[in-house]
Amino acid sequence: MLVTGYGSTPSEARSFNNLELARRRAASVAAWPEQAGFTAIQRADYPVDRQALLERDHGRLDFQVVRVGMDTDQEKIRPVL
């Protein structure tokens, strides 16, 4: 299982570490299946391609998420926005 954390771009805090926030989000969610005995590969994805444009068009909430997928092939996993 692949657990990917994302982060939005805050306009008010330029020094905020969004990559670390994305990592913490992934770790928090990955803990649940790991407690049940599953292997969870954690990753953080910040910023994604064209993130500023996507945030402008769709809002920042699309990036304040963790996505869980069963396919761990890194080439097949892409954010769904």
Q: Could you give the CA distance from residue 57 to residue 62 in angstroms, rounded to a whole number?
A: 11
Give dist(CA 23, CA 17) in Å, integer. 10
SS (H, E, C) the chain: CEEEEECCCCCCCCCCCHHHHHHHHHHHHHHHHHHCCCCCEEEEECCCCCHHHHHHHHCHHHHCCEEEECCCCCCCCCCCC
**Residue 80 pLDDT more than 50?**
no
- Per-residue pLDDT of 22-79, as tens digits, reads 999 999 999 999 999 999 999 999 999 999 999 999 999 999 999 999 875 655 545 4
pLDDT at residue 7 tops 70: yes
pTM of the prediction?
0.79
Provide the residue ranges of all domains of the chain, joining segments of one domain with +. 2-69
